[in-house]
Structure 1
Amino acid sequence: MKITNKDEFYFKPVKTKLSDIELISLVILAEFKSIDPEHQLFRELKDTALENKIERSVYNRRKRKRFPYLEEIRLKMTEKFNEFKNYFVVDSMPLEVCKLSRSSRSKICKEQDHARPNKGYCASQNLHFYGYKLHAVCSIDGVFQSFDLSPASVHDIHYLKDIKDQMTDRVILGDKGYLSQNVQIDLFDQANIELETPKRKNQKDYQPQFYQFKKYRKRIETLFSQLCDQFKIRRNYAKSFDGFRARVLAKITTLTTIQYLNKFVFNRNNNNLKINLI
């Protein structure tokens, strides 16, 4: 089952030994095998057919430039899963770029003023950190629909302003961090999105949230745990923001690829990620 028929995504004056689709396949393979350092990846490519097809510095540069095409492939797989889904879950997780004690002298990801990391706080983990937040929406079956990165100090609720441009006619489940009557009304009026969040006990007309919704909300927390455990998403080797976001996208795309192969090729439970694909 082909996801794309393209081998190259744009014209290049000189034909490369490694095509774009082969490069993306190599990126996904490296993430699946949890090979984060590129030095280690190229050690493993030694004495294989790929050894002389690309240099490490060229690999890194091409990987960053293929960001939009990697996202295009991920969205095609996501559409297969989520086209007829009505219930989704929204949440965020912290992504450090360095330890808080080093933040004042760190130069990581500071080349673009609009995308500079900063200090933030994660209430669920009682954690002060320096870096970014990963905001994401997934289906209740555990497939990421969309995601975004913001500086750590940005409140979760601001991500909901982008969701209305990406989805319509859906129910989105969030935790208490997304409580906002104005945002709920805006989402419903603009995109017919119903935002379901648990109420605080001191709120008027308090009622416990429907038990099944609580269960659905845990799905995205499991996905975040899998990204941290198997895909090492919190381990950062990038020095630029373009490199950082390319690494995050590669890990999420790899997770989606495994789910896609499980469901549509091997007929397995799509969330069994720690398995051999061959």
Structure 2
Amino acid sequence: MLDWFAKLVSYAGFSNHLNQLSEAFRSFTTSSFEDFLPPGSFPNQSLLDSMPIITCSGKRNGKVAKNLTDKGYCSTKSLYYYGAKLQTLAFRRLDKIPFPEEIQITPATVNDLTVFKEA
């Protein structure tokens, strides 16, 4: 079926193009979150949380996405791991899941409190 899609770039080329669009995705999602703030949200109260994205256990050497991942510790799971963190800053809502204000993927060693102080 390659002749049907002759103008497709290689997978590496596609990944490179997608990575170049990361700032555009960030701007789009930030403006979307601001424009569609649901009723009942507290825009002056934010919650911060993170979760690990584990690419391999801490006993091994990380081989995936070396420029984004490193070795970190997850205190809630009591384990060392190679990977990244999904960091979320969200507006508080009563009796509902918080509404995302900003979402970032950072290396595993980045502290939760320092991530959003830069913004």
Name the TM-score class by shorter chain: 0.5 to 0.7
Aligned 8 A contact 2:87 2:104 in 1: yes
Higher relative contact order (Cα pairs below 8 Å, separated by 6+ residues): 2
Aligned 8 A contact 1:109 1:117 in 2: no
Selected match of 2:70 from 117, 130, 154? 117
Q: Which of 1 and 2 has greater Rg?
A: 1
- Residue 144 in structure 1 maps to residue 100 in structure 2: yes
Deviation at 1:137, TM superposition (A): 0.3
Deviation at 1:51, TM superposition (A): 4.1
1:169-208 equivalence runs, <5 A: none
Aligned 8 A contact 1:94 1:134 in 2: yes
Distance 1:67 1:107 in 2: 22
SS in 2 for 1:138: strand
Distance 1:76 1:150 in 2: 21
- Residue 77 in structure 1 maps to residue 32 in structure 2: yes
SS in 2 for 1:63: helix
CA 1:53–1:89 in 2, change beyond 3 Å: closer, same or farther? farther
- Residue 99 in structure 1 maps to residue 53 in structure 2: no
Match of 2:44 in 1: 86
Selected match of 2:8 from 44, 47, 54? 54
What's the TM-score, normalizing by structure 2?
0.68
Distance 2:5 2:34 in 1: 35
Runs of 4 or more above 6 Å deviation: none
Higher strand share: 2
1:8-23 equivalence runs, <5 A: none
Distance 1:151 1:77 in 2: 25
What's the TM-score, normalizing by structure 1?
0.33
CA 1:124–1:79 in 2, change beyond 3 Å: closer, same or farther? same
Unaligned stretches of 5+ residues in structure 2: none
CA 1:99–1:71 in 2, change beyond 3 Å: closer, same or farther? same
Distance 1:64 1:116 in 2: 15
Distance 2:82 2:117 in 1: 24
Q: Percent identity?
A: 23
- Residue 66 in structure 1 maps to residue 21 in structure 2: yes
Q: Count matched residues.
A: 110
**Amino acid in structure 2 at the alignment position of 1:117:** D
**Amino acid in structure 1 at the alignment position of 2:53:** L
SS in 2 for 1:133: strand
Deviation at 1:117, TM superposition (A): 1.1
SS in 2 for 1:135: strand
Distance 1:86 1:51 in 2: 49
